[in-house]
Amino acid sequence: RIVAWADGVLDTDREVAWFAFAVGREVRKPMRVCIVNMFNHQTHHRGQIHAMLTAAGARPGDTDLTMMPEV
């Protein structure tokens, strides 16, 4: 669903503005940068989850895309 949403965004040059509490000011970035950041940030959190599962003794399955089953 996320990929379909990203594919449907037509105006990736438009600016998005928000108040970023982490830096205490308004931030403005092009939509395309925000979309790429969303996918990149998900990768960060998947790594955190994998590390926590491994530390807890779980054996997460293979996560290499080349080894994933075809869908």
pLDDT in tens, 6-60: 888 888 889 999 999 999 999 999 998 988 888 888 888 888 988 999 999 998 7
Give me the pLDDT at residue 56, please.
94
CA separation for the pair 46, 12 (Å, rounded)? 26
Whether pLDDT at 69 is above 80: no
CA separation for the pair 31, 39 (Å, rounded)? 13
CA separation for the pair 63, 12 (Å, rounded)? 30
Give me the pLDDT at residue 40, please.
87
Calculate ∠ Cα 31-39-34, nearest 5°: 15
Fill in the DSSP letter of residue 70. P
Give me the pLDDT at residue 71, please.
60
Give me the pLDDT at residue 17, please.
96
